[in-house]
Structure 1
Amino acid sequence: MRQLREDVMAGGRPRAFDVDQALDRALDVFWRHGYEGAGISQLTSAMGINPPSLYNTFGNKQELFRQVLDRYADGPAIYMKEAFAEPSARKVVERLLHGGADATTRPDCPPGCLTLQGGLAASPAGEKAVSELAGRRAAGETALRTRVEAARDEGELPAGSDPADLARFFATVFQGLAVQAAGGASREELHRVVDLAMKVWPTGD
């Protein structure tokens, strides 16, 4: 939904700005520079607003980052939610990993993944952002483990399969794709990694 807010330009003249567009621009800054590397002046310049408007509209840098993460989840990373609609756990994982290979190598976005690059390390002032990202990654792994547990209980997986180990393995592969993409790996190379990783899926043979 498009939202318009007012920003006060130099000279006191108000102007309308598009909140969604401003969030998209902030997303790009955080994605490229991480939470720590994205300064307020850099953010406001990219967003086309002044610092008071940032604080009045988004709260503060931490809250802006949280809103950017939500927008990221509903935009470039929407494939993650869509993957969980697949009818089998194997299809969920396969779509999630192939979707990650595509999303982290999009030509219209920075390489890699915002939830990894956004805050792997930060000063004490950025610890909340690092914790927010870690929590979101952990929630994703928990959701995957829950889906794999259901698959085991429904007979899709051999009875001796360990859902926690499988979820941790595929979460590690998933995050590794983003690291490789940020390092310059091609989309085709990442899809080959996914194909190899899927050979780990238990078959019961």
Structure 2
Amino acid sequence: MAGGRPRSFDADAELDRALEVFWRQGYEGTSLTDLTTALGINRPSLYAAFGNKEELFAKVLDRYAAGPGAYAAEALTAPTVAEVVERLVRGAVELTAGPRTPPGCLTVHGVHSCDPGSASARQAAIARRMAAETALRRRFEQAADLPAGCDPATLARLVHTVTDGIAVQAAAGRTREELHEVAALALRTLVRA
């Protein structure tokens, strides 16, 4: 029986391709055809490898956090509050407006571009975002150098608001240089010693 040679399958490379599609187009803007075209596989192969679109999106969110978004978890290890905040804000600029990434943020797109029929995908993105904010709050709660009178939860929300704003501005076409100027101003006011 002669048959075609099976296509080699690299799940990590396929997830990276799916990540880029979701990142560029958002969850709602990405069709199964977009995904199968980008991955070079048919729908049955996509379902067999990754499950449905929602399950693939959840895997992509994990891949994003461990890959391009890993700077956020790494920032929490910085020795001072100011350094944590700086790494997060500057990292957001590089992630969302850098030369090697699509503009904007995958999780911001995921939260804001889902209709009610995609509520579980939206909730998956929100859950990851809330977990990141909780980790940041906990880091601030443990900080010996948190400015007096600064509430760790409020500061964590403020930092996330700034980084989300950077992502939105990057998606709207602001340049990396413009966003680094915004970051510099934000950093002068976010944490005062």
TM superposition score normalised by structure 2 = 0.92
Judge conservation of contact 2:27–2:113 (CA < 8 Å) in 1: no
How far apart in 2 are the matches of 1:71 and 1:91?
25
The equivalent of 2:23 in structure 1 is: 31
How far apart in 2 are the matches of 1:39 and 1:55?
14
Shift in alpha-carbon separation, 1:18–1:193, aligned structure 2, 3 A: same
Q: Which secondary structure does the structure 1 equivalent of 2:9 belong to?
A: strand
Which one of 155, 166, 176 corresponds to residue 165 of structure 2?
176
Deviates more, 1:45-54 or 1:156-165: 156-165
How far apart in 2 are the matches of 1:186 and 1:103?
12
Residue 123 of structure 1 pairs with residue 109 of structure 2: no
Which one of 38, 43, 48 corresponds to residue 51 of structure 1?
43
Question: 1:179: Cα distance to partner?
Answer: 0.5
Question: 1:119: Cα distance to partner?
Answer: 3.9
The equivalent of 2:32 in structure 1 is: 40
TM superposition score normalised by structure 1 = 0.87
Question: 1:157: Cα distance to partner?
Answer: 2.3
Q: Which secondary structure does the structure 2 equivalent of 1:14 belong to?
A: coil
Alignment of 1:1-205 (within 5 A): 14-151=6-143, 154=144, 156-200=145-189, 201-203=191-193
Could you list the per-position Cα deviations for residues 14-66 of structure 1 after superposition, in whole angstroms to 9, with x for gaps in the alignment?
32221111111111111111111111111011101111111111111111111
Q: Which 5+ residue runs of structure 2 have no aligned equivalent?
A: none
Judge conservation of contact 2:90–2:183 (CA < 8 Å) in 1: yes
Question: 1:13: Cα distance to partner?
Answer: 5.6
How far apart in 1 are the matches of 2:92 and 2:166?
7
Higher strand share: 1
How far apart in 1 are the matches of 2:7 and 2:93?
40
What RMSD, in angstroms, separates the aligned Cα atoms of the two structures? 1.6
Judge conservation of contact 2:92–2:167 (CA < 8 Å) in 1: yes
Q: Which secondary structure does the structure 2 equivalent of 1:87 belong to?
A: coil
How far apart in 1 are the matches of 2:38 and 2:113?
23
AA paired with 2:49? T
Q: Which secondary structure does the structure 2 equivalent of 1:15 belong to?
A: coil
Judge conservation of contact 1:36–1:119 (CA < 8 Å) in 2: no
How far apart in 2 are the matches of 1:67 and 1:50?
18
AA paired with 1:177? I
Could you list the per-position Cα deviations for residues 64-88 of structure 1 after superposition, in whole angstroms to 9, with x for gaps in the alignment?
1111111111221121122112111
Question: 1:158: Cα distance to partner?
Answer: 3.5
How far apart in 2 are the matches of 1:33 and 1:76?
17
AA paired with 2:118? G
Q: Which secondary structure does the structure 1 equivalent of 2:112 belong to?
A: coil
What fraction of aligned residue pairs are identical, expressed as a percent?
A: 55
Q: Which 5+ residue runs of structure 1 have no aligned equivalent?
A: 1-10
Judge conservation of contact 1:62–1:129 (CA < 8 Å) in 2: yes
Q: Which secondary structure does the structure 2 equivalent of 1:132 belong to?
A: helix
